[in-house]
Structure 1
């Protein structure tokens, strides 16, 4: 278990560094530093360790603990769109402040850094599963549109 904890710790640090780089580019210095600190909380750290870093399949109890940890993570971190959902049945959400919206996009970009690939703009397209306030959806669409423009300029230039 100790080896699995160490692997999870290193994974979190690598993720935080990747998000920090992306946030830094957006001027989100404090958010880049504080991003995903809740992953060090035992409520999240231990279930994530068991789910992803033990070399065996987890039982139904640990699976339930991991689902609770994921829910805890979403509701403790404002860069997750789920944090802003007030009524999932009616698909209603509060507007997401721009700095958290940008941090969410930085989080998405960080995963492509992790796997050594450039972010594919198609991966940033809006999912029907995401419940966003209309203002937030519009702002996210604008961010994605601007990234597409910047990418096409890089290709041309």
Structure 2
């Protein structure tokens, strides 16, 4: 388990570095620093380590702990669209403040980069598969369209 914890720690630092780069480009300095701090909490750290870095199948108990960890992560981190969902059955969500919306995009961008490589814009638009308030969806689509046009024009 020690090896799994070490790998998880390295993963978290790598992810936080990549999000920090993206957030700073967007002017979200504090959020770049504080992004995903809940991943260091015991409620998330150990279940994540077991889920992603320990060899072998998860026990039913560990799978349940992982599900609680993921739910905890979504509830503690406002850059997750799930945080704002009021009713998943009716696809009702509260409006997401712009700073968290941009942090969410920075989080998406971070997954397409690895230690400083270029961001792959084709992986950015997940807006069809998530539940957002209509105003938030419009803002997200406008933000992504603006980024796409900047990317095409070579300003990135």
8 Å contact kept, 1:81–1:131: yes
Q: Does 1:37 align with 2:32?
A: no
Aligned match of 1:17: 17
Aligned match of 1:120: 120
- 1:8-157 aligned at under 5 Å gives the runs 8-114=8-114, 118-154=118-154
Deviations 1:1-35 (A, max 9, x none): 11111110111011001100100111100000000
8 Å contact kept, 1:95–1:135: yes
Unmatched 5+ stretches in structure 2: none
Residue-pair matches, total: 155
Unmatched 5+ stretches in structure 1: none
8 Å contact kept, 2:47–2:69: yes
8 Å contact kept, 1:80–1:104: yes
Structure 1 pair 22/116, CA: closer, same or farther in 2 (3 Å)?
A: closer
Q: Does 1:4 align with 2:4?
A: yes
Moved more, 77-86 or 113-122: 113-122
Shift in Å at residue 49 of structure 1? 0.5
d(CA) in 1 for partners of 2:116, 2:18: 11
Considering only aligned residues, what root-mean-square deviation do their CA atoms show, in Å?
1.6
Q: Runs (4+) of structure 1 moved beyond 6 Å?
A: none
8 Å contact kept, 1:121–1:144: no
Deviations 1:27-53 (A, max 9, x none): 100000000000001110010000111
Shift in Å at residue 117 of structure 1? 5.2
Moved more, 41-50 or 146-155: 146-155
TM-score by length of 1: 0.92
